[in-house]
Chains A and B, each alone.
Chain A
Amino acid sequence: MSLVWPASEAAIVTNQPRLHALVVGVADYPHLNGGAGPLALDPLGLSQISTPRHTAPAIAGWLLGAYNNPACPLGSVELLVSPAAQLTLPKAGTRPVESATRARVKASFNRWQARCTTRSDNIAFFYFCGHGLEKSAQFLLPEDFGDPATPNRWENCIDFDGMRTGMRSCAADTQLFFVDACRETPFGVLAQLNVTGDPLITATVTDSVNCSAAYYATTQTRQAYGPDNGVTYFAQAVLSCLNGVAGLNKQGRWIVDTFSLGGAIGQVMTQLARRYRLPLTCNPNVSGMGVIHEAASPRVFAAVGCTSDAANNAAEIVLSKGPVVIRSAPGQVKPIVQEVDAGNWSIDVRFPGGQFPAQPPQQYMLMPPVFEGVPVP
């Protein structure tokens, strides 16, 4: 079963507003380069990736352990991860998780959609992490993509944009989609392909949805997708934002909504790109406002460095707030890019070698989502 929480279908609450999630992570592609199965007739230059096996459980883990929305608590989590694994998750304990073949993605999708559509005040949450192809639409590749035994090479391919459009027929009025796809296929190859896929669901022009928000990672190389055996950069940004970086103070509650999340993910990705010197961007497509989550406290993605490489190399930078001290010595990587508590921080930029004039420590107000400084040498 791909249902990791609650323990059974019968335990799922459908007569109250709930968030129902479908999380898919595909790291194992048997028919792509380096896979264990028969190679696809054209693997499109795609090979195995490691990050989804860490990313999908991290997203599911956040939903199970940290998601907080009193108006719409967690209702269910479907999780598929390739390769299939034994995973330990908050609330769910240790349990086997099935692999993300097209058939299983489709079956999970059908169950998820059926739950989501039970009420208009439900939230539908979809996260995909794995290979993708993007032409005039975004396509997602399940584990068995490229199986040479399948005469239609696009049979095991999911038409995400078609799916998002089709979800207009689902009653859930807040729909969240995260497309964390590694898009390695070169433009020249893509342009010659007539890609098609299964949208999994259809809608008509009379169907509507109040809030449909899609957040796309737009990285085009595996290097920019995520650190080997770690969580993708996009997922790192999403989780930071959900944890309070995208929080807005609304009567003392730190609310993350579809608008604030879109703006914050883009800013965090920009700072991650600066830190890791990678082409990381995000393409949010948000239509309509919906509340997602209430964070425990405001957090800030701080990026602190000097304004020139020479000064960065020579500087010792110290950020401090009460007992918390973050330090980067001369020669260490700058800018400091770190998620921290919001509030007043002291930032001290020193040049022990005397290469630049000393700067007195300055107080800065760090407010979500991102602080970028400092404007010294």
Chain B
Amino acid sequence: MSSDLTITFAPDMPAATVEVVAPDFQVVGRVMLAGGRSKVVQVPSEATFLRVLMPFGETVTLQDPGNLSRTISKETLSSKLTSRRPGYAEQLESDESSQDRSSLFDLNRYHALRARSLPDIPAGSENTLPLSTFGHARLLSGQTPLPGTSVSRSREAHWRIAGGPLQPPLVLRIERPQEAACEIRIPADADHVWARADRLRDHDGIAFSVRLSTTEPAADTILGYLQRGDLYSAEAMTEWIAESEELLLYKKADPYAAAVGAYLLLRLKRFANLRDWPKNLADRFEFLPDGCVIWAWQLIQQRSADTAQIRNYLIKATERGLPVYAEGLRLLIEGLRLLGKDTATALAGLTDRAGVVVWDSPLTTTIHVAANHAPTADRQPIVYDVAFSARS
């Protein structure tokens, strides 16, 4: 006999996908919830349980047989998250935050915690911030470095950003003396960006990790799911896109979050949901290459015969610079390849400008060397670990 199960997210919860699972493990519903929101799902049994797919990758299973009205809060989850181990929070206030993390796994857990306790940025802070002894970082708006602050005994650099989403993308530049430099495109709707360097104790190598949050946490959650390949969870977020795309484009004017929604719809081939938003994104926000890429790909996927328009928008994208999102760079390169000789010059220019691309980053992350770089000097394995932070 089926029943109605009401699932509510307490106001302190981040946007996340919840799977509603029958006792035989069949997923009977997959819904997106955000703080203060509820959903009703018809379930086959009162023994149905929930799985909350947290934006930072951990999954929490909640069993409460017989309860058909379940409220999920941070407190509900905290006792079940292995990343919330007792005493872990104190690390941020202790010397431990200035120690090298032992592995990428440990580093990710550290950043999930750091996202809950971000430092204030005092006025008059530095423009160039050290990343331990391994390099330094600058966050650039055009050519102008933005002030930030250094914490964890100069191992971490933090920036708060207040420019708003109608600004061109920022660039986070991580430089290492005599060695390759890394550039990460940062969406201008970011409100906090931080970078950190660690010598990973468990395996030879240095990790430069970057985390950021934006003013649209649901978009951050989508990018987190996409980065991990969790398309089912990302798919559940299409409801947010349907509700907010128009708002993001026209009222709040956040082309970055709008682009994230459009990339997901493109991936899922939901062209009916996309409508003409990508064209508006391309035409209205000239500082953003991604809109042109999305619109050109909507035309390609819908088998438009208007090859000239596809070509024009792809070329226009290359003229605006590298896309902010790695998905955009991948699609731009693929689109130019498909157009063949007609766009060969633009493709060559783009790949030359991109240099080495760190493809597992959700943001376009490229590595460049100076002309006088001596390649033999750069033999230590380097990991660039870029992700959206979890607001958990």
Q: CB within 8 Å of B: which residues of A?
A: 45, 134-138, 161-162, 165, 168, 186-192, 202-208, 215-216, 218, 220-221, 223-224, 248-252, 258-260, 262-263, 265-267, 270, 273-274, 277-289, 298, 307-308, 342, 364-365, 367-368, 370, 372-375, 377
Contacts and interface: CB of A to CB of B under 8 A. Distances in A.
B359 A220 contact: no
Contacts of B307: 205-206
Interface residues of B, number: 76
Given A207-B338, A263-B228, A279-B203, A136 B333 contact: yes
Contact of B375 (A192, A274, A289): A192
A368 B200 CA distance: 30
Contacts of A263: 228-233
A206 B231 CA distance: 26
Contacts of B301: 208
A367 B79 contact: no
A285 B330 contact: yes
B179 interface: yes
A278 B356 contact: no
Interface stretch (B81-89, B143-151, B243-251, B276-284): B81-89
B26 A223 contact: no
Contact of B269 (A165, A288, A372): A288
B257 interface: no
B346 to A, nearest CB: 13
B369 to A, nearest CB: 4
Contact of A375 (B24, B85, B368): B85
- Quick one: which of A307, A308, A374 has the most chain B CB within 10 A? A307
Contacts of A205: 300, 307, 310, 335, 338-339
Please list the 7 inter-chain residue pairs (A to B) with the smallest Cβ-Cβ separation, ordered nearest first.
Answer: A284-B229, A188-B378, A262-B229, A307-B85, A277-B202, A263-B230, A283-B360
B49 interface: yes
B134 to A, nearest CB: 14
A372 B360 contact: no
A188 B103 contact: no
B196 to A, nearest CB: 15
Interface string B285-313: 00000000000000011010001001000
A67 to B, nearest CB: 21
Interface string B152-194: 0000000000000000000000000001100000000000000
A223 B368 CA distance: 25
B44 interface: no
B255 to A, nearest CB: 23
A279 B205 contact: yes
B334 A367 contact: no
A267 B27 CA distance: 18
Contact of A308 (B57, B87, B303): B87
B378 A218 contact: no
A252 B377 CA distance: 57
Contacts of A282: 229
Contacts of A281: 104, 360
Interface stretch (B5-13, B35-43, B120-128, B379-387): B379-387
Contact of B356 (A134, A203, A262, A266): A134
Contacts of A370: 59
A280 B383 CA distance: 11
Contact of A249 (B27, B207, B303, B377): B27
Given A136-B355, A187-B180, A205-B335, 16 more contacts: A45-B379, A186-B375, A187-B356, A188-B179, A191-B369, A203-B338, A207-B338, A216-B360, A220-B205, A259-B232, A263-B229, A274-B105, A282-B229, A298-B25, A372-B82, A375-B80
21 contacts: A136-B350, A137-B351, A162-B337, A165-B338, A186-B378, A187-B382, A188-B180, A188-B369, A192-B373, A204-B340, A205-B335, A208-B301, A259-B231, A265-B229, A279-B203, A286-B229, A287-B267, A288-B269, A367-B21, A374-B82, A377-B85
Contacts of B300: 205, 208
A270 B105 contact: yes
B305 to A, nearest CB: 8
B167 to A, nearest CB: 26
B102 interface: yes
Nearest to B102: A277
Contacts of B57: 267, 270
B34 interface: no
Interface of B: 21, 24-27, 49, 51, 57-59, 61, 63, 79-82, 84-88, 102-105, 179-180, 200, 202-205, 207, 228-233, 235, 267, 269, 300-301, 303, 307, 310, 329-330, 333-335, 337-340, 350-351, 354-357, 359-360, 367-369, 373, 375, 377-383
Contacts of B81: 375
Given A192-B369, A367-B21, A266 B228 contact: yes
Given A134-B356, A134-B359, A263-B228, A249 B82 contact: no
A160 B230 CA distance: 23
B203 to A, nearest CB: 6
A365 B202 contact: no
B314 to A, nearest CB: 10
Given A266-B229, A307-B82, A188 B25 contact: no
A226 B28 CA distance: 37
B360 A135 contact: no
A375 B82 contact: yes
A188 B377 contact: yes
A342 B25 contact: yes
Contacts of A262: 229-231
Contacts of A250: 26
A174 to B, nearest CB: 14
A285 B339 CA distance: 21
Nearest to A134: B359
Contact of B359 (A45, A162, A191, A216): A216
A342 to B, nearest CB: 6
A214 to B, nearest CB: 10
Contacts of B233: 263
Contacts of A162: 337
B303 A206 contact: yes
A221 B381 contact: yes
Nearest to B51: A367
A214 B109 CA distance: 27
A172 to B, nearest CB: 17
Contact of B373 (A188, A202, A274, A287): A188
Contacts of A367: 21, 25, 51, 61
